[in-house]
Amino acid sequence: MEISFKRSVIVQYLLIYVMYIIPGSCLFAKYLAGNLKYIALLGLYGWLILMKKKYRSAYALYFVVLFFVSTMFTRIYTGGGAGVSALFQFVIGVLSTQIAIYCDKEHFLPRWIKLVTFFAAVSILFWAAFYAVPSLANAYPGLKFITGTEGSKGYERELPGKGVFLYSYLKRHPTRNCGVFTEPGVHQIVLNMTLYVLLFWQEKLDFKTYKEYRKHVAIILCTIVTCQSTTGYLAAVMILTFFFFSSRAEKKFRGIKAFMVAAVALAVTVLLIDYTARADESILYTQFIYKLFGDSSGGLDVSEGTGQYRTGTMMVCLSIMGKYPLGVGYDRFYIMRDSYGEGLVAASVFQFPAVYGIIPWIILMGLLLGPVFLRQKPGLALLYTVLFVNTTLAQTDLIYPAFFMIPMYLVGVPSTQKEETAPGQRLRPRYQS
């Protein structure tokens, strides 16, 4: 296999890596906490945009202006409560994606796929080793940090983590594959959006053989399984289901569909065996049965597990949006949220309008989803929207580069037309079977 060491190739891979780890990686969230990293990146991206025309994008600028104006208005209107930290995180999420794509538009997607698949494969190896022999984690020579605490007030115990560049072992998630991220729920985002690209944007990739393509799909699917994220499983099921139905008449997809059927059947078999052997401690119970139905058998129950906290946050946000359509700022939002109940988290898609107001949220959703619906078939665009809502209901961040790269790429690459992205109809993979 030929390996290129051109400077432009290395630069784009570095930019993609930065995009990959923002936000939610242990390196950014735990080891390099604070705004200094954002200021450094903002300076770098600003310099690149000023010095080289190819990095400029009016589409990304719309987001930056929206976030800046929304922050300033909220600070003035609420007397505070929308600080620079949130603004930096929004802006860097957008600019990291823009710069990584515009560095080399033609090769961005293939290189994104290769980088994500590489880290996915590495994470499987580390996860399997630590899962089989937990004591190996003690010998892992990664950088150390604290992921949080557990226990009652006054008797808290710190939960350590190790590793920030290749793999992060977290004491709070010892048997789940977190990759380089703070939780498996963030890891699954890059994995599922990579699966989205692999299945629906095949004509934009550069696989030389079907075997190589299948290997990448297999690695991504296996990594999603090892994350043990309910949100991730739901996203993967939606993507696979849509792919099967949208490409059912295409002969060229029979091979990959048969392969995925076998992979899913194997995964289900393993889950059932695990459930038979470990019952309440099994993946099937902890990630599906308990979270959906709780301890009772009386039907669907979101009041158990993390579902109760996300549902609580959503209810608070809806109440705030009804009473304060112009937003209340973060300070007041946190006070109102905490008064509703302890431990409420996530639901970022509802947090944004509660904090900044309904109008900025409508504009943001229009900017984000507009290109997706205008330049893709309605079914594929709707799938993206459902995946976005599914993820942001479960997470505290709203702008994830893995999601933002879809509309950014659709806008930034002129050859990306609506008819080219029709799933299972006009895809022209570059590999030969």
pLDDT-derived band at 177 (thresholds 50, 70, 90) equals: very high
Position 415 scores a pLDDT of 61
Predicted pLDDT at 72: 93
The residue-averaged pLDDT of 274-301 equals 62
Q: Supply 330's token pair.
A: 């973060």
The answer to whether position 370 is within a domain reads yes
Helix (H, G, I), strand (E, B) or coil at 35: coil
Query: Residue 167 falls within a domain, yes or no?
Result: yes
If you ran DSSP here, which 8-state letter would residue 432 be given? Answer: B
Residues of the domain holding 151: 7-421
What is the rounded distance in angstroms from the CA atom of residue 371 to the CA atom of residue 409? 9
Domain annotation covers residue 375:
yes
Give the pTM: 0.88
| Domain membership flag for residue 379 | yes
Task: Give the Cα separation of 229 and 235 in Å (integer).
Answer: 10
Q: What is the mean pLDDT of residues 349-377?
A: 96
Assess contact for 424 and 250: CB atoms under 8 A.
yes
pLDDT for res 427: 40
pLDDT surpassing 80 at residue 17: yes
Q: Which token pair is 296? A: 């009772």
pLDDT at residue 253 in the model: 64
On average, the pLDDT of the chain sits at 85
pLDDT at 300: 44
Confidence bin at 279 (pLDDT 50/70/90): low
Q: Which residue type occupies 121?
A: A
Q: Is residue 387 part of a domain?
A: yes
pLDDT beyond 80 at 304: no
Within a domain: residue 177? Answer: yes
Confidence of residue 133 (pLDDT cuts 50, 70, 90): very high
* Structural domain contains residue 431: no
Any idea which of 30-34, 37-41, 170-174, 359-363 has the lowest mean pLDDT? Answer: 30-34
- Under 8 Å between Cβ of 89 and 396: no
Q: Residue 361 — very low, low, confident or very high, per pLDDT cuts 50/70/90?
A: very high
Q: Name the packing angle between helices 210-227 and 184-200 (round to 10°).
A: 150
- Maximum average pLDDT range among 146-150, 206-210, 249-253: 206-210
State how far the Cα of 24 lies from the Cα of 29, in Å rounded to an integer: 6
Phi/psi at 169 (5° precision): -95, 120
Amino acid at 199: L
Q: Is the pLDDT of residue 95 over 80?
A: yes
Question: For residues 306-322, b (16+ Cβ closer than 10 Å) or e, as one string?
Answer: bbbbbbbbbbbbeebbe
Domain presence at residue 220: yes
Q: Which two tokens stand for residue 185?
A: 């729920």
Say which residue the tokens 């946190």 belong to: 334
Q: Look at the chain and report how many structural domains it folds into.
A: 1
Confidence of residue 429 (pLDDT cuts 50, 70, 90): very low
Q: 228 in the Ramachandran plot: left (φ > 0), alpha (ψ -120 to 50) or beta?
A: left
